[in-house]
Amino acid sequence: MKAVVQHGYGPPDRVLALEDVAVPAVGEGEVLVRVRATGVNTPDWLTVGGVPRILRLQAGLRQPKAPVRGSDVAGTVAAVGPGVRDLRPGDEVFGSLWTKSIAAGAGTFAEFTLAPATQLVRKPAGLSFEEAGASVMSGLTALLAVRDVGRVGPGSRVLVNGASGGVGTFAVQIAKRLGAHVTGVCGPGNVEMVRSLGADDVIDHTVEDYTRGPQRFDVVLDNVLNHPPAATIAVLRPGGTFIPNSAGEAKGLLGGLPRVVRAKLARPRTATVRSVECDVTRENLDALSALLASGEVKVIIERSYPLADAAGAVAHMATRRARGNIAITVR
Ligand SMILES: NC(=O)c1ccc[n+]([C@@H]2O[C@H](COP(=O)([O-])OP(=O)(O)OC[C@H]3O[C@@H](n4cnc5c(N)ncnc54)[C@H](OP(=O)(O)O)[C@@H]3O)[C@@H](O)[C@H]2O)c1
Give per-residue pLDDT as tens, 45-81: 999 999 999 999 999 999 999 999 999 999 999 999 9
Asked if pLDDT for residue 6 goes beyond 80, the answer is: yes
Mean pLDDT, rounded, for 302-319: 98
Atom of ligand 1 nearest to the CA of 162: 34
Mean pLDDT, rounded, for 207-219: 98
Asked if pLDDT for residue 103 goes beyond 60, the answer is: no
Q: What is the pLDDT of residue 258?
A: 87
Asked if pLDDT for residue 102 goes beyond 60, the answer is: no
Pick from 6, 100, 96, 17: which is nearest to 58 by CA? 100
Asked if pLDDT for residue 101 goes beyond 70, the answer is: no
Atom of ligand 1 nearest to the CA of 138: 6
Pocket of ligand 1 (CB under 6 A): 41-42, 137-138, 141, 161-162, 164-168, 185-187, 190, 205, 223-224, 226, 245-247, 276-278, 317, 320-323
Q: Compute the distance from residue 287 Cα to the ligand 1 centre, in Å.
A: 23
Strand stretches in 162-222, DSSP E = 181-186, 201-204, 217-222
Asked if pLDDT for residue 263 goes beyond 90, the answer is: no
Residue 67 CB contacts under 8 Å (≥ 6 apart), including other chains: 5, 6, 7, 107
Asked if pLDDT for residue 104 goes beyond 80, the answer is: no
Asked if pLDDT for residue 248 goes beyond 90, the answer is: no
Provide CATH code, domain 2-135+299-329: 3.90.180.10
Q: What is the pLDDT of residue 106?
A: 81
What's the pLDDT tens digit per position in 155-188?
A: 999 999 999 999 999 999 999 999 999 999 999 9
Atom of ligand 1 nearest to the CA of 317: 19
Asked if pLDDT for residue 146 goes beyond 60, the answer is: yes
What's the pLDDT tens digit per position in 88-97?
A: 999 999 999 9
**pLDDT tier at 262, thresholds 50, 70, 90:** confident
Mean pLDDT, rounded, for 190-204: 98
Choice among 41-50, 73-82, 253-262 with the minimum mean pLDDT: 253-262
Given 3.40.50.720, 3.10.50.30, 3.30.1310.10, 2.30.42.10, which CATH number is that of 137-273? 3.40.50.720
Phi and psi torsions of 33, nearest 5°: -110, 130
Q: What is the location of CATH 3.90.180.10 in the chain?
A: 2-135+299-329
For the entire predicted model, the pTM comes to 0.97
The Cα 284–Cα 177 span in angstroms is: 17
Mean pLDDT, rounded, for 306-323: 97
Q: Determine what percent of the chain is predicted with pLDDT higher than 90.
A: 90
Q: Determine what percent of the chain is predicted with pLDDT higher than 70.
A: 98
Q: What is the location of CATH 3.40.50.720 in the chain?
A: 137-273
Q: What is the pLDDT of residue 65?
A: 93
Q: What is the pLDDT of residue 125?
A: 95
Q: DSSP code of 269?
A: S
Mean pLDDT, rounded, for 119-134: 97
Number of helices (H) and strands (E), helices first, in the chain? Answer: 11, 15
Q: What is the pLDDT of residue 259?
A: 86
Choice among 80-89, 144-153, 268-277, 305-314 with the minimum mean pLDDT: 268-277
How far is residue 13 from each of residues 116, 258, 312, measured CA to CA in Å? Answer: 30, 30, 7
Q: Compute the distance from residue 204 Cα to the ligand 1 centre, in Å.
A: 15
Q: What is the pLDDT of residue 105?
A: 66
Q: What is the dihedral of CA 17, 330, 100, 138, to 10 degrees?
A: 120
